[in-house]
Structure formats: structure tokens, C-alpha cells
Structure 1
Amino acid sequence: MGRHRLETRRRRPPLLLAGVVASLAVLATAGASPRAVVVEDVAESVPLPATPCCLEVVPASEGVHPAAPASMALFSSASPARTVAAPVAASRWRVLDLHRILPKGVAPEAGLQVKTIFLARSISVVFPEIHSIGGVRADALRWHPDGLALDVMIPNASSPQGIALGNKIVAYALENAARFSLQDAIWRGVYYTPSGPQNSGAGHFDHVHLTTFGGGYPSGDEIYYR
């Protein structure tokens, strides 16, 4: 009995020896190098599309655009008058509210300045009855050639409905004069400024003439919000 127990003990490798054997096996698997083996779990990255829907890249230092008021407001992601002196260190994403972006209206925008475009688009949205708005054209005065003026053509301008529509457009422009940078309006022989009617103007019985202070020519990066 004692001999049998002794033989059994001899057949079992000591625990220390088993540990050494396991360590050698790991080293052999790693190319017999004494350095530790590190396993990295790399997550697969999913590239974003070049122009993601509803997002805009803005400098990290630029403030978040405040919520637009119920009336129209202009947001320009790159003001024509602003220049970047040095590249920004970082950027972030800003969500664009597609439901509040003003689409291009019925006015041809070539040659118009930003506030004039903003006013033209706003009128197209608020007054869908308007189907024609004139912009840049040759004129002895500088307002139309410089992209500062609009001619909002009134359907059936001499009818009660047409006169009422023209009155509403003038009132709308004057109420939002600061937002549109409105200079003046002329309708049915009356010259208006943001302070109210001033004196008799020349003609303008078939369209409402609106003039803005311009705000500079667009760079192509402007976004116009309601």
C-alpha cells in the first residue's frame, strides 16, 4: 500500500513544473520572445458621407445659432464681409432645421444682395399669390442695378383684391423692416419708410417696389431661415 502511494506521487508533475511548462508554451506561441503579448480589439469605423443630410460643419469657436423667431430671420453661415485670418483648430456639427429654411422663390436672384434675396424668398413663402418678382435690371437709379430693389408684381392690381394684397405686402415689409434691412417701399403713389408713409411717390400702381440696404453680395454659403 505504501509503495503504491509513492508511485502515484511520482507520476504527478509538481505544480511549479506545470506552471513553467505553461509559460514556455506561451512564449513559444509568441515567437519565444520574453515580451508580453498584447491583444488589441479595434472597432471598425463607419465613414460618414461627404455631405451628411441635415448637418453643417461649423468652427468650434462659433456660437450656436439661436432659434429663429416666428417671423423671418436670416442666418448666413459665412458672412460676405467676414474673412478668416487663421484656420480653426477644430470643428463640430450643427443640425439644420430643414423645415425653417427658405427655398428659392419666384424672383431671379442673380445680382441681388443677401437682404434683398431674404426679402424676396420671404414674400414668396408668405404670399403664394405672387407669381412674379423683378430684381436686377437697368435703371437710371442705382437700386435695381445694384441688387437692392424688388418689384413685386400684383395680380389684378387695380381690383379691390389686388389693392388689398399690395397693402398687406407693404405692411409685412414694414413690420419686419429691421430683419429685412428695409430702406423703403412704394405702392400706389405713396412712398413709405419704416417710420411710415412719407410723401407721394411716382407711379407703382401695378407692383410694390421694395428697397433694402443690401447687406453685401452672397458668397454661396448663405442659408435663409424663416
Structure 2
Amino acid sequence: MGRHSAARTRQWPRLVLVAGVVSAATMFVVGADAAPHVTEAAPAVEPAPPSPAPQMHLMAAQPPAPPAPAPTLPHGVAKETGLQVNTILAARAVSATFPEILDIGGVRSDPLKWHPHGLAIDVMIPNARSAEGKALGDSVLAYVLDNAERFGLVHAIWRQTLYKPDGSKRMMASRGSDTADHYDHVHIATAGGGFPSEGQTYLR
């Protein structure tokens, strides 16, 4: 075999070795690409428990409370027989407001219409000539005039002076005595309003 043949023979094993190395490297690379890509899973997170639903406190509907009855005026010191409703109201209101009043006259005979028809009362003032008595009579007069519409007031007389709801007043001629001249009582005359029915009530 010539020198050239021997040289080719010596080179063959080197080629085989290089080819093998290249093949192995190729398989390693290809194998690496072909392997499945595994991603590490994130740790599971526990879901938060649901918030409890708000508690609905349902209250049973309560029926409205009945209105309180209107306060009524009790029977006062006046004898009410024969008096009309406005006059009774005035008598009861004066009794309730001025407990120091111990006597209120009502129906009696008289040449004028007021007392015989139940349209007037006489509020008797204790110790009427004293300073305290005069002050009490003045207070009763002021109270009646302040409530003129409520009482259906026509006029009031105190210490010889006649007063009307419109604020006017006039002196009366003397009749010769404290009673006749209204120095010992306040005379209160009303429009009447008719006679009371059975069970009639009078509001404060």
C-alpha cells in the first residue's frame, strides 16, 4: 500500500471520533430542547372566608300610641245649675286658676238679663278692700280679658268700671254699696253659647 493509502487510513479514525463527538453534542442539544418545560407552581393561597352578611334587625311595626286625652276642667266653686256653657267654662277656669276664690255666684233674679238667663257670674273677692284683695280682683279681671274670645266674653265689671273685650272701659254711676258697685266681686257676662248637654266637658 502506498504512502497515500496509509495516510488516508490513519486519518479515518480521527474523522470517526470527531463525527461521534458532534453527534453526541447534537443529541444533547436536541434532547434539551425537546424536554418538557416545567414551571414550578405557585403555592396555593387560601381564599378569604366570605364576610358575614349584615344582620338585619327587623322590628315589628308598633301601632302609634293613642293621643292623650285633652285635660278637662273640673267642677269649680260655682253652682252651675241654669248657667250656659260659656259661663260655666269661665267659672271653672277662674276656679282652677285662682284657688283662693271660694265663692262664685250664678243664676239669680235681676232686672237685667245676664244672671237670670245664665249669662253671668259674680266672682267674689276675699277682703276686697285690702291691697291683697284689690290685687286679686285685678288679676281675675286681667285673666278674663286675656281669654275673652275663649269665654265668649261680653263685658266684665270691677270696682265700678265696665270693661269690654275691645279694650274700652267706662265708669259706672254709683249705686250706693260695695256689692252694687262691684267692689267686692268681679262680674263676668258671656254670650252664653246655649245650655250644656248631658256629660258636657270643658277643656282647660
TM-score range, shorter chain: 0.5 to 0.7
Give CA-to-partner distance per residue, 1:171-223, whole Å, 9 cap, x none: 00000100010000000011000122421135100000000000000112321
**Partners of 1:224 and 1:124 in 2: how far apart?**
13
Which residue does 1:51 correspond to in 2?
none
Asked whether 1:207 is paired with 2:178, we answer: no
Which residue does 2:148 correspond to in 1?
177
2:89 pairs with one of 83, 100, 118: 118
| Stretches of structure 1 lacking an aligned partner (at least 5 in a row) | 1-93
1:69-148 → structure 2 map (5 Å cutoff): 97=69, 100-148=71-119
Give runs of ≥4 in structure 1 deviating > 2 Å.
94-98
Q: Secondary structure at the match of 1:158?
A: coil
**Partners of 2:125 and 2:89 in 1: how far apart?**
19
1:150 pairs with one of 121, 125, 138: 121
Give CA-to-partner distance per residue, 1:16-54, whole Å, 9 cap, x none: xxxxxxxxxxxxxxxxxxxxxxxxxxxxxxxxxxxxxxx
By percentage of residues, which structure has more helix?
2
Q: Secondary structure at the match of 2:74?
A: coil
| Stretches of structure 2 lacking an aligned partner (at least 5 in a row) | 1-65, 175-180
User: Could you state the TM-score of these two structures normalised by the residue count of structure 2?
Assistant: 0.62
Query: How high is the sequence identity, in percent, across the aligned residues?
Result: 55
Residue 120 of structure 1 aligns to which amino acid in structure 2?
A
**Partners of 1:156 and 1:178 in 2: how far apart?**
29
Q: Secondary structure at the match of 2:194?
A: coil
RMSD of the alignment, in Å?
1.4
Which residue does 1:161 correspond to in 2?
132
Paired residues of 1:190 and 1:197 also in contact (CA < 8 A) = no
Paired residues of 1:184 and 1:212 also in contact (CA < 8 A) = yes
User: Could you state the TM-score of these two structures normalised by the residue count of structure 1?
Assistant: 0.56
Residue 177 of structure 1 aligns to which amino acid in structure 2?
A
Q: Secondary structure at the match of 1:124?
A: helix
Larger Rg: 2
**Partners of 2:201 and 2:148 in 1: how far apart?**
19
**Partners of 1:116 and 1:96 in 2: how far apart?**
26
**Partners of 1:155 and 1:95 in 2: how far apart?**
40
Which residue does 2:177 correspond to in 1?
none
1:26-105 → structure 2 map (5 Å cutoff): 97=69, 100-105=71-76
**Partners of 2:98 and 2:89 in 1: how far apart?**
14
Which residue does 1:218 correspond to in 2?
196
